[in-house]
Structure 1
Amino acid sequence: MNQMRHGRQKTPSAIGSVLRFLGVALAVVAISSVAVVAYAVTNITTTISDNAVDIGGATPPPPPPFLGAFDGGFNMLIVGTDNDANQGEDYGERDATLNDVNILLHVSANHQDAVVVSFPRDLVIAHPECHDPKTDEYFDAMSAQPLNEAFSRGGLGCVVDTITNLTTVPIQYAAATSFNGVIEMTNAVGGVEVCLVDPISDPDSGLDLPAGLSTVEGQTALAFLRNRHGVGDGSDLSRIGSQQQYLSSLLRKIRSDSTLSDPTKLYGLATAASQNIIPSTSLQGIDSMVSLALTLKDVDLGKIVFVQYPVSAYVEDPNKVQPVYSLAEELFSRVLADQPFTLPADSTAPGSTIAGGDTPPTEAPPATDGAPPATDAPTDIAETPDVIEGLKGQTAAEQTCSSAFSG
């Protein structure tokens, strides 16, 4: 058997060794990065899929290939639960899990406008029949009961059915999150800036903040969102105003802070979401979540309108509210027809004011020589949407501030 003869090798140069080492290192880093990304996506997708629930309704179209934005618009319900299984007794004892925060997001088919409607937890309405997929228990329809009882009658799917029954808006996507989810997702983006007109110290929620701007995260962010007795008139409507301030500030931060292009923040946000949300099965894929985010990404902040569902005091209990159906019908006829609208002046929630007293200017191209200024634009609905008088809320472009409880 012939022996293989080895030629005499040249002594490697220092530069050659370094380059080869760097090449190996880069290869290891590249392979490791792919492995980490693959593991992260697989881990997040598995976690989300394991928690997903069927909300019924028509199956939405699959997300576009290569993580693009969806064609057309969509409707998504976001539910904040109180007293979920992981909450413990830190926030008081409850007999059942309640849907205390109910937010419907609508993005128009042309991706030019979005409406975010908040429904008060104490809104007294009719509830449809519901089925709890976990216990296989069926619940009869009810009349004149608070909205926040829906989750205890069938989970996320029952809340979707209840909101659809009230608004006639078909909901393709939904997600529920708990107090822990709020904390983790706020931390993942590095906190959210909020504004107070006066200092607020509220022992019920644990909120203790000075007047002016503060960046909140963790328990402080949760206390700001839960605070009711320390803000405005002490009602849930004032708390909704604070929640809208928080969400609009969060949107502005994500847009301005490169969150969507920062892999660390994006992975942290995705991980926090996957570990703390119950999604609908239509939302269980990472590609679906990314496509929905991309669909909303380029909507002008001034055209993302936060609205409180229109209510009046409930005739049988002044601590609860009931729908103003005529105004609600006008609102949702616009939503269903993808017709944009604007809010009336001084439309902020009780206890909320526009920072500085002025609405920030809307984004408009500068006028050229001889052209009329932007404020002289024609009143066609495509150029200047109609005002719906009586609605309360703000746009995502507006910085609002919360006032202390007025007594």
Structure 2
Amino acid sequence: MTDQEIEQNTQRVTSRHGRLRRSSAWRNVARVLVTTALVGVLSGVSVAAYAVWGLVRDVDTVDLGTESAEAIGAGQQSIDGAFTILLVGSDSRAGQSIDDGEEGELNDVTLVLNVSEDHQNATVMSFPRDLMVPFPSCPGPKGEEGYYPAMSEQQFNSSLQYGGLPCTAQVVESLTGLDIDYAGLVTFDGVIGVSKAIGGVDVCLAQPIVDPKSDLDLPAGDVSLVGTEALQFLRTRAGVGDGGDVSRISNQQIFMSALIRQLKSAETLADPVKVYGLAKAGVENMTLSSNMASVQFMQALAGTVKDIDLDRINFVQYPTTEHPYQEGRLLPDRDSAQIVLDLIESGQPFEVTGRGQAVEEEASDDPVAENAETEAPAETEAPADGTETPAPTEEANDEPVQLPDNITGQGAAAETCSAGRTVY
């Protein structure tokens, strides 16, 4: 074969592969994006960013159609100031290894990750799927303005169906007042892949969790969740709390907290094979806003969040009340939500005290420490000479604000157990 014939054959092969469609797994997002997206956010090792460069440049991207943040420049070691990332998953089974026959493409899991301006605090807010909220006018499939008209009340998890990720971003912005800078979607298979790459996520179960609907049967005690079992643990509703989505959110927060503790451990971050596997599992199963899809963004994100302390990472559920005339639906508790949103906006640290129905505090192994926690602090006596008590120092003002107990969630440092089904 002549050199000219070889060159012609090479061109034909390249052309043919250039016309291949991407796997449908890229176009269909999953319900539980929590795990994979937080891996990219919180594991952050620079070698992983370089290792997945070949994957990132081929990832599917979407234009949010809003004034989102500019792409990160070369050599930038962190993201400037505060930023917010929208993390969305749908219930589509198309192209996934899990296919139970259900159809649809709803954002059954919606999270917002915010990092404060000083990069000392991170908050992940979860939004219930059954929340009824106003929808702004959403862009169409090709970015057409006003393609979907505004609606006075619509179920939150239908925003992805109406206008894709850009519509969900606009609904969240309208509800919270937060500017969505970046956004990402992930598949079922991403969750499965991440749990395998990390070697399983260790969670505590206060009692067995049995849910035939999600084919889940877990014993009480410490359980390592890997692969499909990890996915189903995150998806289960019938097996936890009162069987509703609000309970499922608190169950997911137990998993996410355990995952982050493992990611922050020296054993995980010091293992380049695990780090690469985690990054690869995430990137291969994600669709990103165009300003996220670069190795520079990965590096800057890693540099921004890698040193955030566990006790400054909080998971919070957007506060809700029962809908007055639609059974099973929820309305925003805007006053309570504003408490959290104001703290996020100010960058002030806070502590979540309220727990969901699917959460049980893990028993302490140290009876001395447990007793110390229950003892009331001694009252400070006034000085004997009658002088005034000194004003609090600036350091005291940096103490975390305690949220009202009707706002549920938990800190990443809190070791809690899944309570299983508590209300029938």
TM over 0.5: yes
* Residue type at the aligned position of 1:219: T
CA distance 1:194–1:127, change in 2 (3 Å): same
Summarize the Cα distance change of 1:386–1:80 in structure 2 as closer, same or farther, 3 Å threshold. Answer: same
Counterpart CA distance in 2 for 1:37 and 1:255 is: 15
Q: Distance in 2 between matches of 1:300 and 1:395?
A: 11
Return 5+ residue gaps in structure 1 as ranges. Answer: 1-35, 362-371
Aligned to 2:232, the other structure's residue is in SS state helix
Matched, 1:337 2:310: no
3-state SS, counterpart of residue 139 of structure 2:
strand
Structure number with greater CO (CA < 8 Å, separation at least 6) is 2
C-alpha contact 1:64 1:70 (8 A) present in aligned 2:
no
Give the match for residue 418 of structure 2. Answer: 402
Q: Please tell me whether residue 155 in structure 1 is matched to residue 170 in structure 2.
A: no
* Percent of pairs with identical residues: 40
> CA–CA distance in 1 between the matches of 2:114 and 2:285?
23
**Letter in structure 2 aligned against 1:112:** Q
Instruction: Pick one of 89, 106, 126 that aligns with 1:98.
Output: 106
Q: Kindly indicate whether residue 87 of structure 2 is the aligned counterpart of residue 78 of structure 1.
A: yes
The one-letter code of the counterpart of 2:259 is L
User: Aligned in 2, Cα 1:40/1:265: closer, same or farther, shift over 3 Å?
Assistant: same
Q: Distance in 1 between matches of 2:248 and 2:68?
A: 34
Q: What are the equivalent positions in structure 2 for 1:193-342 lying under 5 Å apart? A: 193-342=202-351
SS at match of 2:123: strand
Partner deviation per Cα, 1:323-344 (whole Å, 9 max, x = no partner): 1111112211221222222223
Matched, 1:191 2:197: no
Residues in 1 aligned to 2:185 and 2:212: alpha-carbon distance in whole angstroms: 27
TM-score, scaled to structure 2: 0.77
Paired letter, 1:388: L
Tell whether 2:150 aligns with 1:141. Answer: yes
SS at match of 2:178: coil
Distance 1:152 1:405, change over 3 A: same
The number of residues matched between the two structures is 353
Distance 1:238 1:358, change over 3 A: farther
Structure 2 gap ranges (5+): 1-46, 370-379, 381-391
Once the two structures are superposed, residues 89-141 of structure 1 have per-residue CA deviations (whole angstroms, 9 ceiling, x without a partner) of 723422x3010111111111111111110100111111111123358592111
Q: Which moved more, 1:181-190 or 1:119-128?
A: 181-190
Does the 8 Å CA contact 1:69/1:292 hold for their aligned counterparts? yes
**119, 138, 160: which one pairs with 1:111?**
119
CA distance in 2, matches of 1:231, 1:195: 13
Closer/same/farther in 2, CA of residues 201 and 215 from structure 1, 3 Å limit: same
Cα deviation 1:339-366 (Å, max 9, x = unaligned): 222223xx111120121169999xxxxx
Is the partner of 1:115 in helix, strand or coil?
Answer: strand
Does structure 2 conserve the Cα–Cα contact (< 8 Å) formed by 1:44 and 1:270?
no
1:387 aligns with 2:402: yes
Query: How far apart in 2 are the matches of 1:273 and 1:400?
Result: 26
1:350 counterpart residue number: 357
Distance 1:114 1:107 in 2: 5
Q: How big is the shift at 1:290?
A: 2.9
Question: What letter is aligned with 2:138?
Answer: C
Alpha-carbon RMSD? 2.7
Would you say the 8 A contact 2:65–2:143 is kept in 1?
no
Deviation at 1:184, TM superposition (A): 1.3
Q: Aligned partner of 1:99: which letter?
A: N
